[in-house]
Amino acid sequence: MSRAVVSLLLALALAACSSGPPTPAWQMSARSGLDAAALAWLEGRTATEAVEFTRARAAIARTGRLDLLARAELHRCALRTATLVFEPCAGFEALAADASPEDAAYARYLANRLRPGDAERLPAAHRAALAAADPASALAGVQDPVTQLVAAGAALQRAQANPALVQLAVDTASAQGWARPLLAWLLVQQRAAQAAGDTASAERLQRRIDAVAPRGR
């Protein structure tokens, strides 16, 4: 799986140091499980995502590190935001008391419930998108596609997703071959076209939607 899937948010302090002692088995299991779960979610393989996330979470749980468990749950919720699945982040909320201030701020960002001072605790790309009058311009140069999609989803939830940002999200998901976010963002485009009475664009978007997820599949 591409390292691009593992954004700064997902690092979880699991990166091994080549000059240090051997990497503990739990770190390798957690990292591989999170990577596999992320890819499965983005590709639309829900059952596989659940299995792989459970494997990663079990590996982290063996350390007793509640802060890392909270971050793993936050990772999972961020991917939901990237695919426009807006729902309470119950897994993180159950561990919120032990989360870092940065992770707590990020959780509120995903839920569109930012408090004063939270913005300064966000990763740079999200902080820039939040402050920008045009989030699309702020995200255009971001190299990590997951970060782009999460920030775009958060902007949509704030009602700050203009057509350029929606197109950026569509192009990002399409370039990666990630069916779940692509379908979600294509539907956003299609609803906008329908609202504007642009039948030709709505029909063209439906053809793309059908190509990604054929009807009756």
Across the chain, what does the average pLDDT equal?
Answer: 91
Q: For the residues 186-204, what does the mean pLDDT come to?
A: 98
pLDDT above 50 for 16: no
Q: Say if 55 falls within a structural domain.
A: yes
CA distance 79 to 151: 10
| pLDDT tier for residue 15 given thresholds of 50, 70 and 90 | very low
Provide the pLDDT confidence category of residue 9 given band limits of 50, 70 and 90. very low
Q: Is the pLDDT confidence value at 13 over 90?
A: no
Q: Which residues contact 37 (CB under 8 A, 6 or more apart)?
A: 48, 49, 50, 52, 53, 56, 76
Q: Percent of the chain, pLDDT > 70?
A: 89
CB–CB of 53/34 below 8 Å?
yes
Mean pLDDT of all residues in 75-80: 98
pTM above 0.95, yes or no: no
Is 44 a domain residue? yes
Does residue 20 surpass a pLDDT of 70?
Answer: no
> Is 173 inside any structural domain?
yes
Host domain of residue 52: 3-212
Residue 98 resides in a domain: yes
Residue 170 has pLDDT above 90, yes or no: yes
Give me the number of domains the chain comprises.
Answer: 1
Q: In the chain, how many H helices and how many E strands?
A: 11, 0
Q: Is residue 217 a part of any domain in this protein?
A: no
Whether 9 maps to a domain, the answer reads yes
pLDDT of residue 214: 72
